[in-house]
Amino acid sequence: MPEGDTVWRAARELNAALAGRTLTRCDIRVPKFATVDFTGETVQNVVARGKHLLIRVGGEDGWTIHSHLKMEGLWHIYAKGAKWRRPAFKARCILETPDSAAVGFELGFLKVLPRSAEEEAVGYLGPDLLGPDWDPEEALRRLRTQPDRPIGLALLDQRNLAGIGNVYRCELCFLAGVHPLTPVAGVRDLPRMVALAKKLLEANKARSTRATTGNLRGNTLWVYGREHRGCLRCGTRVTLEQLGDNELELRDLYYCPYCQPASTAAAE
């Protein structure tokens, strides 16, 4: 699933292509919004809010095209008339200007809402790690409201802090030396973990290769996806399990049983 850095980058590219330009084509391929047509309207800007993308069309009282990439979604920018790199039947939103086309493929969520409804749509999100509203103290306060919740679940909860996905969840727990099942109250230095989350997303937001090891080639991640190889620090075989609040929300969980001993999972 795309994480906050990927979405931030997508918003930057969409904003560069669309902001200030008049739409010459608007094709929203979602039944509920299929009749919506913003042709002739001007795109005000495109912003990221955690893992959400908001394309604002028209003036202050205009509309917002709200999308979430979920597991498979992505936005492409093409020169006008260029061949798409994905099949047309997978396109869910097409926005063209005189110069370019922005195409959203396999978007997990796509909705059109009045600009005034943005707060209702994304206001529940915690502080955005890559947003102007970033507030580490507020993120810590929200995390600590459920002291017995496993940190591996709390970090993924976008209501606590927005932008962390499964890769960062696993890598953050490893870098902190914390077992993912450790209760929030049992994490010895929670402020450091939150600060590290900010540092990692900031470091990766402008590059296509996500790295937590400092290497942009080869081994870019410490434990994520390494269940058949081993921890980069100690060589111990990485454990792969699944963790989620329920069966529908299970996500792969990678950790090193040596560097992140289960004993840390008990609150101290």
Q: Give per-residue pLDDT as tens, 118-154.
A: 999 999 999 999 999 899 999 999 999 999 999 999 9
pLDDT-above-70 percentage for the chain:
97
Phi, psi (degrees; rounded to nearest 5) at 144:
-80, -5
Q: How confident is the model at residue 267 (pLDDT cuts 50, 70, 90)?
A: very low
Question: For the chain, first and last CA: distance in Å?
Answer: 33
Judged against a pLDDT cut of 70, whether residue 89 lies above it is answered with: yes
Q: Can 251 be counted among the known catalytic residues?
A: yes
Q: Catalytic one among 3, 9, 56, 183?
A: 3
Q: Determine how β-strand 43-49 pairs with β-strand 63-68.
A: unpaired
Q: Are 257 and 194 in contact (CB under 8 A)?
A: no
pLDDT-above-90 percentage for the chain:
87
Q: Are 171 and 224 in contact (CB under 8 A)?
A: yes
Q: Catalytic one among 49, 51, 169, 205?
A: 51
Confidence (pLDDT) at 208: 84
Q: What is the pTM of this model?
A: 0.92
**Any alpha helices (H) in the chain, and if so which ranges?**
4-18, 118-122, 136-144, 151-154, 166-175, 190-204
b/e per residue, 151-171, with b = 16+ CB within 10 A? bbbbbbbbebbbbbbbbbbbb
Confidence (pLDDT) at 170: 97
Q: Catalytic one among 12, 29, 90, 251?
A: 251
Locus of tokens 């102007």: 132
Q: Can 2 be counted among the known catalytic residues?
A: yes
Q: How confident is the model at residue 23 (pLDDT cuts 50, 70, 90)?
A: very high
* Residues sharing a CB contact under 8 Å with residue 81, sequence separation 6 or more, in sequence order: none
| Cα dihedral 77/81/84/89 (nearest 10) | 110
Q: Reduced to 3 DSSP states, what percent helix, strand and coil does the chain have, rounded to the nearest 5?
A: 30, 25, 50
Confidence (pLDDT) at 266: 45
Confidence (pLDDT) at 250: 85
Looking at residue 83, the DSSP 8-state letter turns out to be P
Q: Catalytic one among 2, 150, 180, 183?
A: 2
Sheet containing 100-105, strands listed edge to edge, beginning at the edge strand earlier in sequence: 25-28, 91-96, 100-105, 74-79
Q: How confident is the model at residue 161 (pLDDT cuts 50, 70, 90)?
A: very high
b/e per residue, 247-260, with b = 16+ CB within 10 A? eeeebbbbbbeebb
b/e per residue, 192-209, with b = 16+ CB within 10 A? ebbebbbebbeebbeeee
pLDDT in tens, 35-46: 999 999 999 999
